[in-house]
Amino acid sequence: MPSSALEVRGLVVRYGAIDAVRGVSFVVGTNESVALAGPNGGGKSSILNAIFGSLRTTGRSFGAITSGGTDILGLPSHRVARLGIALAPEGRMLAAGLSVRDNLLSGALALQGATDTRLAEVLAGFPVLAARLDRPAATLSGGEAQLLAIARGLMARPRLLLLDEPTLGLSPRARNEIAAALQAARAGGIALLLAEQSAQVAASLADRVLLMAGGRMRPDPLSPLQ
Residue 35 and residue 208 in contact, taking contact as beta carbons nearer than 8 Å: yes
Of residues 190 through 209, those in contact with ligand ATP by CB under 6 A are: 195, 197
Three-class SS state of 36? strand
**CB closer to ligand ATP out of 15 and 62:** 15
Q: Kindly indicate which of the ranges 53-61, 71-79, 112-120, 144-152 contains the residues binding ligand ATP, using the contact rule CB under 6 A.
A: 53-61
**CB closer to ligand ATP out of 59 and 136:** 59
Q: Which does 188 bind (CB under 5 to 8 A by kind): Mg ion, ligand ATP, none?
A: none
First to last CA, the chain: 37
**CB closer to Mg ion out of 45 and 146:** 45
Cα 222 from Cα 136, distance rounded (Å) = 48
Residue 87 and residue 54 in contact, taking contact as beta carbons nearer than 8 Å: yes
Q: Which does 10 bind (CB under 5 to 8 A by kind): Mg ion, ligand ATP, none?
A: none
Q: Which of 43, 84, 125, 143 binds ligand ATP (CB under 6 A)?
A: 43
Q: Which of 6, 7, 26, 46 binds ligand ATP (CB under 6 A)?
A: 46
Cα 14 from Cα 49, distance rounded (Å) = 12
**CB closer to Mg ion out of 33 and 45:** 45
Of the candidates 48, 99, 47, 88, the residue with the CA atom closest to the CA atom of residue 178: 88
Q: Which does 148 bind (CB under 5 to 8 A by kind): ligand ATP, Mg ion, none?
A: none
Cα 200 from Cα 120, distance rounded (Å) = 34
Q: Which does 205 bind (CB under 5 to 8 A by kind): ligand ATP, Mg ion, none?
A: none
Rounded-to-10 torsion of CA 28, 34, 47, 61:
-10
Q: Which of 10, 41, 76, 169 binds ligand ATP (CB under 6 A)?
A: 41
**CB closer to Mg ion out of 44 and 159:** 44
| CB count in 10 Å sphere of residue 142 | 14
State yes or no: residue 33 binds ligand ATP (CB under 6 A).
no
Q: Where are the alpha helices (DSSP H) in 24-141?
A: 44-52, 77-82, 100-106, 115-124, 127-130
Residue 136 is given by DSSP the state B
Q: Kindly indicate which of the ranges 15-23, 81-89, 148-156, 218-226 contains the residues binding ligand ATP, using the contact rule CB under 6 A.
A: 15-23
Minimum CB–partner distance for residue 52 and ligand ATP (Å): 13
Residue 73 and residue 13 in contact, taking contact as beta carbons nearer than 8 Å: no
Q: Residue numbers of the site for ligand ATP (CB under 6 A)? A: 15, 18, 20, 40-46, 56, 58-59, 195, 197
